[in-house]
Amino acid sequence: MRKKALYLFSLLLLLAVFLAVPVWGRAGGGGSSGGSSGGSSSHSSSHYYGNSRHGRPGIGGYLVQLILFGALAGGGSFILIVKGKAARAKSRRAMAVYAQLGDNWDAREIQRQVETAYFEIQECWRRMDAHYASAFLTEELMNQFNSQLQWMQVRGEAVVQKNVRLLSAVPVCALDEPGEEQDILWYLIHGKMTGYYIQKATGNVIRGNPRPEAFFEYWKFVCRDGRWVLAQIKQKDEMDIDSLTNLM
């Protein structure tokens, strides 16, 4: 019984370590970060069986899979963009009201801070130096980034990051709470870059995609000393934009 419990504990420990390993070569590693959430991602797969033997799809089957996957991915992104525009309009109206009550709700200044933060935070990940972006991160998130990056250094890994772009940064939820430090802003970030990890000793790619990829993420900003700093990153499949909009 004791051996079984020890085996289960070891398995859970290995799983926790695996989930903590960043997947994509961008800030936070492409997984959840901030708060108490751990990095995770879910992938669904469907099996299509064509006329080929042994249950393996033929060329036609692969083409059908590719077309279906592209249609689903493109359709999901289109819906998210449309919902993001509606959420932005609602957020901007709320921010205009909040601006009459507090100096930290200037929409143009916030947008400038968010866009600057995006590039500086990605750069800190590329440099593998969380302190580089300390002015744009909460202390808690900076410490989390630092732990992740230090662990990668111990493993002899390096980040490769190229052609970092910000396609759009859209406010999707703005909440003004009693006390400036309780104010919250959620942004839908649409970015594109080439980001992956290599083993420094060999230069071999060990995680991520060495080709450009576009992505959507939700970034949570909080107000600290009159500035908006990043507190959390969530992947698009981890949050519901409608639920965020309904909070306002």
Does residue 31 contact residue 207 with C-beta atoms inside 8 Å?
Answer: no
pLDDT of residue 71: 39
The span from the CA of 39 to the CA of 32, in Å, is 4
pTM assigned to the model: 0.76
pLDDT of residue 227: 95
pLDDT of residue 106: 96
pLDDT of residue 5: 55
User: 37, 26, 160, 181: which is closest to 102 by C-alpha?
Assistant: 181
User: H or E segment at 154?
Assistant: helix 139-154
User: 216, 222, 228, 204: which is closest to 26 by C-alpha?
Assistant: 216
CA distances from 131 to 5, 127, 226, 240 (A): 40, 10, 20, 31
CA quadruple 204, 206, 211, 212: dihedral positive or negative? negative
Task: Give the start-end residues of each E strand in the chain.
Answer: 157-175, 184-199, 205-224, 227-235
The span from the CA of 172 to the CA of 83, in Å, is 9
Find all residues with CB under 8 Å of 83, minimum gap 6, and list them.
241, 242, 245
Residues of the chain with pLDDT under 70: 1-21, 31, 34-75
The span from the CA of 12 to the CA of 208, in Å, is 24
Say what angle helices 59-99 and 107-127 make with each other, to 10 degrees: 130
**Alpha carbon of residue 171 to chain centroid:** 15
All domains in the chain, ordered by first residue? 53-246 (3.10.450.240)
Query: What radius of gyration, in Å, describes the C-alpha atoms of the chain?
Result: 21
The span from the CA of 147 to the CA of 215, in Å, is 24
Does residue 230 contact residue 189 with C-beta atoms inside 8 Å?
Answer: no
The span from the CA of 176 to the CA of 221, in Å, is 12
pLDDT of residue 38: 35
